[in-house]
A = this chain, B = another copy of it.
Amino acid sequence: MFMEKGRVTIPTDANFVEGTKQIAKLWGADAVRDCDGVSLPKNANELAKYVYNTYFVVRGDNAWGRKHPEEAQRIFLESNRIIADGKQLIIDVSKGFLKEEIAPDFDNINRWQVFDRTTNEEIKSWHLKDNLVVIDSLPFHEYSVDFLARVTWHPVQIYNYLTNSWTCEKQLCYDPAYPHTKEYIKSYLRKWLEEHKETNVVRFTTFLYQFNLIFNDKGKERMVDWFGYGEAASIPLLDGFEKETHLKMEAEDFISNGSYNSPFKMPTEKYKKYIDYVQRFVSSTMKELIDIVHSYKKETMMFLGDDWIGSEPYGPYFKNMGLDSVVGSVGGGVTIRMLGEIPHVKIHEGRFLPYFFPDTFFEGNEDNAVAELEKNWVTARRALLRCPLDRMGFGGYLSLASKFPKFVNRVASICDEFRLICDTSSKSRPYSSLKVGILNCWGKLRSWQAHMVAHELWYQQIYSYQGVYEALSGLPVDVSFLSFDDILNNDIPSDIDVILNVGEERSAFTGDKYWKNPVLVEKIRKFVSNGHGFVGIGMPSSTDSLEHCFALSDVLGVQVEKGLTLSIDKYNIEKKSSFITKDCTDQIDYGEGCKNIYALDNAAVLDIDFSSRFKRNVNVGEVKLAYNDYFKGRGVYLAGLPYSGQNARLLYRSLLYACHKEDKLNMAFSSNYNVEVAYYPSLGMYALINNSNKAQETFFFNFSGESKKIKLEPNQMLWEK
């Protein structure tokens, strides 16, 4: 009865049993899953080898939530900022928030803080009256209240509820850091397991604490941060942390002047310690729950999203949970790598796009559905060749997809491609010409998670940096994530060829104050001088210095003109050709780029933008791409790098050039950047992939550098021996 092909999960529901069987056969699916708003057929385990069932840990049982409001989850929030026009200011902290989502915790106002935001100092002269904060204010100072609130509606349910106009009950969420609730969720899990005999994989959606997702008083999102620990402001955890570390986490430690500790902000040591503490609690608690599941001979799967806070799959405590598998949605190559490299689990599953939802699967929209599928697959495929997942799947209503035969057939061939990739790359590691170390504040902890705000959402301020990771996800290079502390404490690992520093000015991804540490600067300079590379994208090594913003301008060959050195003439404005730009056929796209970058005398300017307003031969032009010989190594600067085929190639050549490995270029290579090559040395196999939806011709170079002309169909994958 079960499919032989395997590795594929499909959604199903009680009303589509026969259709499920047909499609499962065509796609080789060996697992079925439920989906929001539908239930699994009773005989689900006749449909597939594996039956996944969604499980919520901290929401869903409103009877429990209602009975124990004091054990609700908590979050610290900042009220609106208000200007005082007199000596007394009254602030209604809940103004601007969705009333149903949060309730100010008036029982714990000892944990609230009031700030004069004009001086950014805490003030003590305030009191609560009729649930309003009354402040003894200074006229024309700005104030806000950091207040603790109970979370009275699960944020992800709010999203689904409001988006789909649901009318079901609003789910409360309860905090398992309270022993009472913890015992309850364990007993509830046992009960649930008893009742779900058909399930053999418990799909946790998710664990204990939701990422920051706060709605405004119009029911629209007010704040979203996929990495936010705001809802891990659990009272027992705060107290436990204080007891253990003698450090008190206060409201402002969460609010952080309104940044809510965005991962873009340099984390404080205290904050880093707290998230470590939360991780330990999440890991140990989940271990107990996972052990229970295992005792029922079922497997456990984590959905990488929703209440994933504190799980940190790349953190030191993740392995302790004993989890069997992870599943996450696939937005492109970065998410493939983020999922695929998670250690200590047996199975990594990716949920591909599009969802089988009515917004895509309506009559007449089949071509668009296929195009979305194709784009998602092609972007993911190049990363899969570097780092395969174990399984793939889809979500939504299979009955909707079944009405689009072209779509169903293309998924079938994609499933075959997927299985071929998995089987091949599970037998041989793909060839890498060099190893890149991505240097930021988070290092390994946030591997493949840099420059995200809300999962997969486009932000104008980040796409020019996200493209770097997307490009890397499919390049024939090894990638590791290093933190500044790693380098300061342990030196640069000896296998690193190129260090990459990417991001906006003074952010956690470029490093800010770390670049004022001469030890770091010395180590990088020495590393490059020994023949390695340093590639900076955006505002690498940026500091708060207005005269010499880039601490490594000597390595990069470029500096930022912040207006204080306009009096120094800049003559290096002539564009040169180079190994780096050799494959560029179109104008290079730097995305948002960076302004006011100029080249130092010895740098080679590879691309520079001139204003059309005025022509001079000095003090003009904004450098977008440059390299700089630095003793035996090289620095390379790029102003930004949104993902595209040309940019992936540009990055690859920059990396090779930076560490003087130009001679490795024509080894397992395609002259046309729309086609990429993955090489599996121990099998002697080459996978050629056409990443474009047009036919492409290319010169394919094997590992010995011998070339031949090859033609690929749109999106084709081709294997060569």
- Taking Cβ atoms with an 8 Å cutoff, the residues of A that contact B are 81, 83, 85, 117-119, 138-142, 212, 216, 220-225, 228, 256-260, 262, 264-265, 453-454, 458-463, 503-507, 518, 521-522, 525-526, 529, 544-548, 551, 554, 561-569, 571, 592, 595-596, 611, 613-614, 616, 618-620, 622, 631
Judge whether A257 and B547 touch: CB under 8 Å: yes
**Copies of this chain in the oligomer:** 2
Distance A619 CA – B457 CA, assembled complex (angstroms): 10
Q: Is B565 touching A262 in the complex (CB atoms < 8 A)?
A: yes
A sample of 13 more A-B contacts (CB under 8 A), given A222-B568, A460-B611, is A138-B522, A140-B525, A220-B571, A223-B568, A258-B565, A262-B566, A265-B546, A458-B616, A460-B620, A461-B563, A461-B596, A506-B562, A507-B564
Q: Which residues of B contact A525 (CB under 8 A)?
A: 83, 140
Contact of A506 with B616 at beta-carbon distance under 8 Å, contacts A259-B565, A453-B566 already known: no
Q: In whole Å, how far is A137's beta carbon from the nearest beta carbon of chain B?
A: 11
With both beta carbons as reference points, the residue of chain B lying nearest to A463 in the complex is identified as B613
A522 closest partner in B (C-beta): B140
Contact B458 A264 (CB under 8 A): no
- Using Cβ atoms and an 8 Å threshold, which residues of chain B touch A260? 567-568
Please tell me if the beta carbons of A569 and B222 are within 8 angstroms of each other in the complex: yes
Contacting pair A258 B547 (CB below 8 A) = yes
CB distance from A582 to the nearest CB of B (A): 27
The 3 closest A-B pairs by CB, nearest first: A225-B567, A140-B525, A140-B522
Asked whether, in the complex, the Cβ of B563 is within 8 Å of the Cβ of A139, the reply is: no
A309 to chain B: closest CB distance in Å? 14
Complex Cα gap A554–B83 (Å): 8
Known: A119-B518, A140-B526. A221 touches B569 (CB 8 A): yes
Q: A83-B525, A529-B85, A631-B85 are in contact. Are A518 and B567 (CB under 8 A)?
A: no
Q: Provide a sorted-by-A list of 25 A–B residue pairs whose CB atoms are within 8 angstroms.
A: A118-B518, A216-B569, A220-B571, A222-B569, A258-B565, A262-B563, A262-B564, A262-B566, A264-B564, A264-B566, A265-B564, A453-B566, A454-B567, A458-B616, A459-B619, A460-B619, A461-B561, A461-B563, A462-B566, A463-B613, A504-B562, A505-B562, A505-B563, A506-B562, A507-B564
Chain B residues within an 8 Å CB radius of A142 = 554
Contact of A547 with B259 in the complex, beta carbons under 8 Å: yes
Smallest CB separation, A282 vs chain B (Å): 21
Residues of B within 8 A of A592 (CB): 595
CB distance from A626 to the nearest CB of B (A): 18
Q: Are A81 and B554 in contact (CB under 8 A)?
A: yes
Beta-carbon contact of A220 and B459 below 8 Å = no
Residue in chain B with minimal CB distance to A256: B547
Contact A563 to B507, CB < 8 A, known contacts A140-B526, A224-B569, A522-B141? yes
Complex: A139 Cα to B529 Cα, angstroms: 11
> Distance (Å) between the CB of A158 and the closest chain B CB?
14
Q: How far does the alpha carbon of A118 sit from the alpha carbon of B522 in the complex, in Å?
A: 9
In-complex Cβ contact of A544 among B81, B117, B138, B544 (8 A):
B544
Residue picked from A119, A518, A620, most chain B C-beta under 10 Å: A518
A454 CB to nearest chain B CB (Å): 8
Contact of A223 among B225, B256, B567, B571 (CB under 8 A): B567
Complex Cα distance, B137 from A525, in Å, reads 15
Q: Which residues of B contact A551 (CB under 8 A)?
A: 118
Q: Are B567 and A228 in contact (CB under 8 A)?
A: yes
Chain B contacts for A529, CB-based, 8 A: 85, 140
